């Protein structure tokens, strides 16, 4: 992929991010959170579609999934490999990679591509 430097917003050194850390930056007129989870970087709009809450101030974790095994049986639960972030205001949760709400795929928070060059993290704002 060829990236135009004019389409990059500098976030900072990758070494300053621990897993679960989020750095809020301005991308145009939007607040965007750059989040590190399992060593990967993600960028997601810092505005929950539910009530405008600061999504990127929430917890980063693996998605908890369950399987209903039958009437009278406990739901079998385990954590998936999907990294999610949960809005601290009302708990709405979104996949970090896609921005899709984990309970309703019709709801989505915009995401942005993250570029790491020479150990510096950037958000790519172009197409």
- Domain segments of the chain: what residues? 5-124
* Look-up of token digits 């135009």: 4
Radius of gyration of the chain from its Cα atoms, rounded to whole angstroms: 16
**What average pLDDT score do residues 27-44 get?**
94
What's the mean per-residue pLDDT of the chain? 90
Contact by Cβ (8 Å): 63, 26:
no
Kindly tell me if the per-residue pLDDT of 2 is higher than 60. no
- Say if residue 84's pLDDT is above 90: yes
- CATH for 5-124 (2.102.10.10, 3.10.20.600, 2.40.50.140, 2.70.50.60): 2.102.10.10
Give yes or no for residue 6 having a pLDDT over 90.
Answer: no
Q: Is the pLDDT of residue 77 over 90?
A: no
Q: What is the pTM of this model?
A: 0.85
């Amino acid at each position: 992929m060829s990236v135009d430097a004019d389409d990059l917003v500098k976030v900072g050194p990758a070494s300053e991010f621990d897993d679960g850390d989020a750095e809020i930056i301005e991308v145009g007129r939007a607040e965007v959170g750059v989040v590190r989870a399992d060593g990967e970087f993600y960028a997601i709009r810092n505005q929950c579609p539910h009530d405008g809450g600061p999504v990127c101030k929430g917890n980063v974790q693996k998605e908890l999934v369950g399987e209903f095994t039958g009437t009278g049986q406990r739901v079998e639960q385990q954590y998936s490999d999907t990294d999610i972030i949960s809005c601290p205001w009302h708990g709405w949760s979104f996949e970090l990679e896609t921005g899709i709400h984990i309970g309703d795929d019709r709801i989505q928070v915009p995401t942005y591509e993250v570029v790491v060059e020479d150990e510096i993290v950037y958000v790519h704002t172009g197409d």
